[in-house]
Amino acid sequence: MTQLRAKEIKTFSYTRPTITNGYANQTLSVDLSGPDITIKPVSQNMKELFVGGKGFDLWLLWNAVTPVTKWNDPENAICIASGPMGGTPGYPGSGKSIVTTISPTTGSVMDSNVGGYFGPYLKFSGFDALEVTGQGAEGTVIFIDGVRQEIKLLQVDGLPEDSYALSQVLTDFFAEGKKQDISVVSTGPGAKHTLIGCLNFTWYDMKRKRARYKQAGRGGIGSVFAHKGIRAIVARWDSVTVDTNNPADKKAVTTVAKVYSKEIRELDPKENEMARVGTTHLVPIMNDFDLLPTHNFRYGQHPGANNIGRDVYQHLFDPGFDGCWRGCTVACSHGVKDFVPMTGPYKGQTVFVDGPEYETIAGCGSNIGVFDPFTILEMNFYCDAYGLDTISVGTGIAFVMECFELGLITTSHTGGMDLSFGNRLNALELVHQMAAGKGFGAIVGQGIRRMKELFEKEYGADSALLQDIGMESKGLEFSEYMTKESLAQQGGYGIALKGPQHDEAWLIFLDMVHNYMPTFEQKAEALHWFPMFRTWFGLCGLCKLPWNDIVPEDNKETPEPAKVMKHVQWYAEYFSAVTGRKVTPDDLVLMSEAVYNFQRVFSLRLGYGRREHDTLPYRAMGPVTMEEYESRQERYDKQLTEKYGVDIAGKETPEKVAILRKFREQQYEELKDAVYERRGWSKDGIPTLETIKRLGIDFPEVLEVLKANGMS
Amino acid sequence: MIEIDGRQIPWHEGMTVAALLEEIEDAHHYAVVRLNGRLISRPNFEKTPVPDSAEVILIPMVAGG
């Protein structure tokens, strides 16, 4: 192995503060251009308004950038934070970090949450959040050593290119014999050569004796990281107990943690078995309900889906504890050992694959017509190693495959590659090309929005068709759910702050399968409450999965089973016990609402965040082609006649497609009206002055943005 | 007999998942069940037979991701 040569650029010593009620009460700022390292205080007002996690990230980012900052400007910041409850061992899902930046694909604020040890280690080292600005030299490594109370900026030569090897090498390099004390944030060559790069956050697996990783995947944050010249950010911390967060009421924390953990241990084996199969159970279920995206979201079902779901991966996953944070009883971060890739730089070697999860299976499997579990594993492995977001890669390849089959692009554009759906070797080749920044893969790596422009301008492709089938909104590729028959999920994707990612509103099952929200008003209410409550997890350093993927046995007897209010109450108790700030479930939604609206105003400040940006490609709403319509003709004919009162006698498919489209586009616009009104926004999707004041975020900078956008 | 969430229920010839759920209170909450370890979703309830001595677990799935 190549010897690492680390040159110290700057060393900064500090005195680690005592963590109090889950807060370090200061943040760390690293300006790579100076280089400068500074510490900023966290005020009481900042905690009350922004809580922590994404709230702190957004506030730091807001102050770092200007209205004209682009993703690749030095002042763009990458902000990483945990949250007040982050790092509590034993309370399920308490190890999350959240990352924000100005995205290269959307041009606006991006956030992405991720497991692994980094966020808690950062906080215990003395910092509630980290912001990195400026431009570093190639090979920059930031080392936050909470044990020695030192920050080091290093320039390291001899590092491996890919994140898979890099994570192991840097864990070894900094560990001083205790590898579980290290967490590495890194990316790979794919992030450098595309705009859809992800970040890998490690956690150390004591049983398998290796660094494992989870991904902050969405919106090209890894590409910003690579552009800044950063190879890695490493945090070092040692032992963690409930006392490390110094909670206001330790007894209450341990009591509620014990009850919650016990429930998960008892119920998960009876319910989704996430501790055994992760999220792979969703594959056959989504397929049965016609919700699993296949062939670029044309259809929701495929006979091959059984080959790529729980029944297969439960046998491939390496058994053992797979919690990405200490003591998490959901423990869903499964992986496959002794996998041997058939392509690329690791061809023929034995590797460990972290995953796959549902999104990767659907994105790099069914949506590109691949129903081979081993190809999906290889796509998963290389996307992670290269630092590529599996969702944007999958949805992007699905788009070019459909373009290829429709003749919008040909082998003359793809470098001779046949990109028909299901061509697994060429899908893998595209991933390798993305990492190298060469060939047609380099174009796919620019994301769907840029591809649409290129295909129209350079290749003469039909612009309207590209808009209909290019599955992006706000510049972000869709995550992997079919929304055609769920108006609420259309809103969940289209009105989401950062773009179509399900972490804000996963309403598809509640809407389509359970029919919990049949009216517009109920959908609008759901598109208020759920995004707000789901936002709250990102403020606190928590994972959402324990909340509603494991459901209490008596939940169905509660007035609102969709909200799983017993767990919401436990979260209120947990927050109160750690921070000492007594809250009710309603307070949790209110504190999220302030941050949520602040992020909407932030988008507005950058030139986005209006009604015109909350748009969807038509495929997200209904059938674009005759084939799609005719594949579910009975469903669509019935809707036209019974729901819309259309006489379809004598009408051919193209006419029916057009009529249905008119109705569905209209109902999406009506949904936007209802949601905006419920959220206290104008018809143009801008928070009103009254809303801003009610939420306490009416400080001068915010008012200035609203005034500049006609809201005064 | 079959076992459903730990309770014993008499089995009869030709029993399907749909027929079984008709005997359960509040069955509309369950869009997915696990039948002898296999996931069965509502679209397949009517066409999926329940064998004698089967173990059935009702899955209260509300969300994901």
A217-236 confidence digits (pLDDT tens): 999 999 999 999 999 999 99
Q: Are A12 and A151 in contact (CB under 8 A)?
A: yes
- With 0-12 / 13-18 / 19 or more C-beta atoms within 10 angstroms meaning exposed / middle / buried, residue A499 is buried
Mean local confidence (pLDDT), A155-184: 97
Chain A residues whose CB is inside 8 A of the B63 CB are 506, 509-510, 548-549, 562
3-state SS, residue A594: helix
Residue A439 lies inside a defined structural domain of this protein? yes
Nearest residue on chain B to A530, judged by CA atoms?
B63
Q: Does A555 touch chain B (CB under 8 A)?
A: yes
- A221 and A288 together in one domain: no
A204 band by pLDDT with thresholds 50, 70 and 90: very high
Domain ranges for chain B, please list them.
2-59
**Closest-CA distance of chain A to residue B11, Å:** 22
Alpha-carbon span A3 to A31, nearest angstrom: 28
A47 versus A518: the higher-pLDDT residue is A47
Q: What is the ipTM of this complex?
A: 0.94
Tokens of A535: 């936002």
Alpha-carbon span A25 to A226, nearest angstrom: 29
Query: Domain with A221 in it: what CATH number?
Result: 3.60.9.10
Alpha-carbon dihedral A587, A593, A596, A601, rounded to 10 degrees: -140
Alpha-carbon span A339 to A341, nearest angstrom: 6
Nearest CB to B65; choose among A281, A311, A503: A503
Position B23 scores a pLDDT of: 87
Q: Are A546 and A92 in contact (CB under 8 A)?
A: yes
Burial code (b: 16+ CB inside 10 Å, e: under 16) for A488-497 equals bbbbbbbbbb
- A457 and A322 together in one domain: yes
Nearest CB to A271; choose among B41, B42, B59: B59
- A431 and A315 together in one domain: yes
Write the pLDDT tens digit of every residue in B12-42. Answer: 999 999 999 998 888 888 899 999 999 999 9
Alpha-carbon span A393 to A368, nearest angstrom: 10
Listing DSSP states for A380-445 in one string gives: HHHHHHHTB-HHHHHHHHHHHHHHHHTTSS-HHHHTT----TT-HHHHHHHHHHHHHT-HHHHHHT
- A204 and A75 together in one domain: yes
Cα A48 from chain centroid (whole Å): 25
- A237 and A344 together in one domain: no
Nearest CB to A284; choose among B39, B63, B65: B39
Lookup result for tokens 């007999």: B1
Nearest CB to B57; choose among A270, A285, A557: A270
Tokens of A567: 């767990």
Report the DSSP beta bridge partners of residue A81: A98, A129
What's the DSSP call for residue A299? B
- Would you call B63 and A311 a contact, using CB atoms and an 8 Å cutoff? no
Nearest CB to B63; choose among A270, A509, A556: A509
Tokens of A255: 């009591």
> Residue A42 carries which side chain, given as an amino acid letter?
V
Chain B residues whose CB is inside 8 A of the A288 CB are 41-44
pLDDT of residue A1 exceeding 60 = no
Residue A513 lies inside a defined structural domain of this protein? no
Q: Are A3 and A158 in contact (CB under 8 A)?
A: yes
Domain housing A655:
622-679
First to last CA, chain A: 63
Tokens of A698: 């009416």
pLDDT of residue A380 exceeding 60 = yes
Mean local confidence (pLDDT), A424-429: 98
- Give the count of domains, chain A: 3
Chain B residues whose CB is inside 8 A of the A506 CB are 63-65
Burial code (b: 16+ CB inside 10 Å, e: under 16) for A617-651 equals bbbbbbbbbeebbeebeeebbebbeeeeebebeee
- Would you call B42 and A288 a contact, using CB atoms and an 8 Å cutoff? yes
Mean local confidence (pLDDT), A382-401: 98
**Closest-CA distance of chain A to residue B36, Å:** 12
Write the pLDDT tens digit of every residue in A429-471. Answer: 999 999 999 999 999 999 999 999 999 999 999 999 999 999 9
- Would you call A509 and B29 a contact, using CB atoms and an 8 Å cutoff? no
Chain B residues whose CB is inside 8 A of the A561 CB are 29, 60, 62
- A55 and A120 together in one domain: yes
Nearest CB to A509; choose among B5, B57, B62: B62
Q: Does A504 touch chain B (CB under 8 A)?
A: no
**Closest-CA distance of chain B to residue A198, Å:** 18
- A239 and A274 together in one domain: no
Write the pLDDT tens digit of every residue in A60-80. Answer: 999 999 999 999 999 999 999
Q: Which of A570, A601, A630 is nearest to A59 (CA)?
A: A601
Report the DSSP beta bridge partners of residue A204: A211
Position A513 scores a pLDDT of: 86
Residue A696 lies inside a defined structural domain of this protein? no
Burial code (b: 16+ CB inside 10 Å, e: under 16) for A51-86 equals bbbbbbbbbbbbebbeeebebeeeebbbbbbbbbbb
Mean local confidence (pLDDT), A356-361: 98
- Which of B24, B41, B61 to mutate: most A Cβ within 10 Å? B61
- Would you call A514 and B31 a contact, using CB atoms and an 8 Å cutoff? yes
- A194 and A287 together in one domain: no
- A129 and A39 together in one domain: yes
Report the DSSP beta bridge partners of residue A351: A339
Nearest CB to A556; choose among B26, B39, B43: B26
- A317 and A354 together in one domain: yes
Tokens of A655: 């006419």
- Average pLDDT score over chain A: 97
- A37 and A169 together in one domain: yes
| Percentage of residues in chain A having pLDDT higher than 70 | 100
Nearest residue on chain B to A513, judged by CA atoms?
B31
What's the DSSP call for residue A639? I
Tokens of A382: 């290389």
Tell me phi and psi for residue A311, to 5 degrees: -60, -25
Report the DSSP beta bridge partners of residue A80: A99, A130
Mean local confidence (pLDDT), B42-59: 96
- Would you call A502 and B61 a contact, using CB atoms and an 8 Å cutoff? no
Chain B residues whose CB is inside 8 A of the A502 CB are 65
What's the DSSP call for residue A681? B
pLDDT of residue A309 exceeding 60 = yes
Position A571 scores a pLDDT of: 98
pLDDT of residue A256 exceeding 90 = yes
Tokens of A53: 């996690």
Alpha-carbon span B64 to A42, nearest angstrom: 34
- List Cβ<8 Å contacts ≥24 apart for A674-680: A674/A520, A674/A521, A674/A523, A674/A524, A675/A491, A675/A495, A675/A523, A675/A524, A675/A527, A675/A528, A676/A611, A677/A524, A678/A524, A678/A525, A678/A527, A678/A528, A679/A528, A679/A597, A680/A597
Cα A213 from chain centroid (whole Å): 15
- Would you call B65 and A279 a contact, using CB atoms and an 8 Å cutoff? yes
Residues with Cβ within 8 Å of B13's Cβ and at least 6 positions away in sequence, in order, are none
Residue A468, CB-side half-sphere exposure with 13 Å CA sphere: 17
- A319 and A225 together in one domain: no
- Would you call A289 and B43 a contact, using CB atoms and an 8 Å cutoff? yes
Nearest CB to A555; choose among B41, B57, B60: B60
Write the pLDDT tens digit of every residue in A455-514. Answer: 999 999 999 999 999 999 999 999 999 999 999 999 999 999 999 999 999 998 888 888
**Closest-CA distance of chain A to residue B44, Å:** 8
Handedness of CA A396, A398, A404, A408 (dihedral sign): negative
Residue A637 lies inside a defined structural domain of this protein? yes
pLDDT of residue B64 exceeding 70 = no
Position A514 scores a pLDDT of: 85
Residues with Cβ within 8 Å of A159's Cβ and at least 6 positions away in sequence, in order, are A4, A139, A141, A166, A169, A170, A231, A232
Residue A507 lies inside a defined structural domain of this protein? no
Chain B residues whose CB is inside 8 A of the A514 CB are 29, 31, 62
3-state SS, residue A153: strand
CATH of region B2-59: 3.10.20.30
- Would you call B63 and A272 a contact, using CB atoms and an 8 Å cutoff? no
Query: Domain with A388 in it: what CATH number?
Result: 1.10.569.10
Alpha-carbon span A52 to B60, nearest angstrom: 32
- Would you call B61 and A272 a contact, using CB atoms and an 8 Å cutoff? yes
**Closest-CA distance of chain A to residue B64, Å:** 6
Alpha-carbon span A697 to A254, nearest angstrom: 34
Position B65 scores a pLDDT of: 58
